[in-house]
Structure 1
């Protein structure tokens, strides 16, 4: 994650993974979420925080989810059902559950199918926020598989190239694959130029938005550095920003995400339908195609070649997708997770109001 999105040193409070996990789980269960559901959501959010993906961790996610439970937008006690299944595929109705609750279950199902048949894919409908896609493919990596995830996020956020009306969501996507000794490859992106949750982080950190990250209300890319506008006064651009810089590629990939989630699930395009959202999870068994040991050794060779390549002038090193996140995970495992003091104050006030024991500091 770019430095501008990180918590300033003066505002950091370090909390251990186990301590923030325990409190997050208790806060969710106090809102009526089952122990399993609370475990899944806490694991996803804090897993993101441990890898430095704070835009999709506790800071933005938890209070959003509690508000959605309280408003009835999401269901804390869903009746999750398999509505269609074959040996290699399944479709699940989440009954309004958060994506963070059902996502780990869906990927586990895809993995079990891949163990038996070489590949497994699971579509989920009627589900809420997934907290990014990166956590879920790593479940497959832990089983020596390749993992893939798409999520169809709320529509009317991202402009098409040359458009003035936002059509798609940010429609994140992720792939992950194991290696032998090198950190796993993890490519986890929003298909917009900048993730919507990262813009929310700038409101907390005070960072500015860079040129071509967003467009004005008329769809014109803003080509200078600016303060974060008020909500509703800007639109997101597809990644690439402008047609000259490849925004048609970003919008095209975002469309693929819409196709593989909302349309393939039968929920229908998000812009035409008032529904929770859809997700898509895939696991590929490497040994259905090649020897696992050879695959991981080949991954090592290529990944090591990348990080050992000569950096361009002005840069210290070359990395690949997932490398920095792995470094951050190791660092935070030792030092704790650096949360903004405002997040810790929110926890303390919320717990005091709801009579939940809080021992973060």
Structure 2
């Protein structure tokens, strides 16, 4: 994660990952979420925080989720149903469950199908925020599979290249693949130039937005560094930012995510339907294609070459997607997760209000 998104040293409070996991789980159970549902959501959010993906951890996620449970957007007791199923595919109705509750279930189903038939894919409708896609593809990588995930986030956020009206969501995508000794490959991105949740982090840290991250309300890319504008005063750009810098590629990949999640699931385009988004999960069993150990050793060869390659001027080293996240995971698992003091204060105040034991200080 870029330095501008990180918590300033003077504002950091280090929290043990098990303590924040337990507290997050207890808060969710307090509002009626089941033991399994609360465990799934806490696992996703704290897993993101451990990997340094704070934009999709408890700092932004939990209070948003609590608001959506309170206003009825999310169902704390969903009746999850399988609507269609073949040996290698399934379609699930999430009954307005939060995505972080049903996502691990859907990927586990895809993995089970891949274990039997080589490949498995599952689409989910009537669900909520997934908190990025990385957690789910790692589920597959941990089973010696390649994992793949799309989510069609709420529409009307991201402009098409050359457009002035936002059509798509941030529409994240992810791929994950295991290695032998090296950390797994983990590519997890929003298809917008910057994730919406990262903009929320800048409000907390006071960092500015870089040129071509967002556009004004007329669709003009803002090409200078600026303070974070108010909510509703800007549009997101597809990644690449401008046509000259390849935004048509981010726009196209955002369309792929829209098709594979919202349209393939039958939920329909997010722009024309009042839903929180749909998801697509896939797992590919490596041993259906090649020897697993050979695959993992070949991955090691490639990833090691990348890490050992000579950096360009101005860079300390060359890395690959998932390498830095693994470093953060190892460090934060022992030293704790550095949360902004505002986040810890929010937890303390919320726990007092609802009568949940607070144990972070």
Same topology, TM > 0.5: yes
The 1-side partners of 2:167 and 2:184 are apart by 34
The 1-side partners of 2:96 and 2:303 are apart by 40
Counterpart mapping for 1:141-180 below 5 A: 141-180=141-180
Q: Deviations over 1:98-143 (max 9, x none)?
A: 0000000000000000000000000000000000000000000110
Structure 2 gap ranges (5+): none
Q: Tell me the residue number matched to 1:137.
A: 137
Structure 1 runs (4+) greater than 4 angstroms displaced: none
Q: Tell me the residue number matched to 1:25.
A: 25
How far residue 195 of structure 1 moved from its aligned partner, in angstroms, is 0.2
Q: Tell me the residue number matched to 2:101.
A: 101
Q: Deviations over 1:162-221 (max 9, x none)?
A: 100000000000000000000000000000000000000000000000000000010000
Counterpart mapping for 1:92-241 below 5 A: 92-241=92-241
Q: Deviations over 1:3-30 (max 9, x none)?
A: 1000000000001110000000000000
The 1-side partners of 2:226 and 2:275 are apart by 34
How far residue 275 of structure 1 moved from its aligned partner, in angstroms, is 1.6
The 2-side partners of 1:277 and 1:195 are apart by 16
How far residue 334 of structure 1 moved from its aligned partner, in angstroms, is 1.1
Q: Tell me the residue number matched to 1:274.
A: 274
The 2-side partners of 1:349 and 1:333 are apart by 26
SS at 2:83's partner residue?
Answer: strand
Q: Tell me the residue number matched to 1:335.
A: 335
Q: Tell me the residue number matched to 1:255.
A: 255
Q: Tell me the residue number matched to 2:292.
A: 292
SS at 1:314's partner residue?
Answer: coil
The 2-side partners of 1:226 and 1:21 are apart by 35
How far residue 277 of structure 1 moved from its aligned partner, in angstroms, is 1.3
The 1-side partners of 2:51 and 2:257 are apart by 24
The 2-side partners of 1:150 and 1:334 are apart by 31
SS at 2:260's partner residue?
Answer: helix
Q: Tell me the residue number matched to 2:11.
A: 11
Structure 1 gap ranges (5+): none
Aligned length: 361
The 1-side partners of 2:219 and 2:328 are apart by 36
SS at 1:259's partner residue?
Answer: helix
Output the aligned Cα RMSD. 0.4
Tell me whether 1:51 sits opposite 2:51 in the alignment: yes
Q: Tell me the residue number matched to 1:81.
A: 81
SS at 1:72's partner residue?
Answer: coil
The 2-side partners of 1:146 and 1:46 are apart by 23
The 2-side partners of 1:53 and 1:94 are apart by 25
The 2-side partners of 1:331 and 1:28 are apart by 27
The 2-side partners of 1:315 and 1:262 are apart by 39
SS at 1:95's partner residue?
Answer: strand
Tell me whether 1:354 sits opposite 2:354 in the alignment: yes
In terms of mean alpha carbon deviation, does 270-279 or 187-196 score higher?
Answer: 270-279
Q: Deviations over 1:206-253 (max 9, x none)?
A: 000000000001000000000000001100000000000000000000
SS at 2:61's partner residue?
Answer: helix
The 1-side partners of 2:43 and 2:59 are apart by 14
The 2-side partners of 1:21 and 1:327 are apart by 20
How far residue 276 of structure 1 moved from its aligned partner, in angstroms, is 2.6
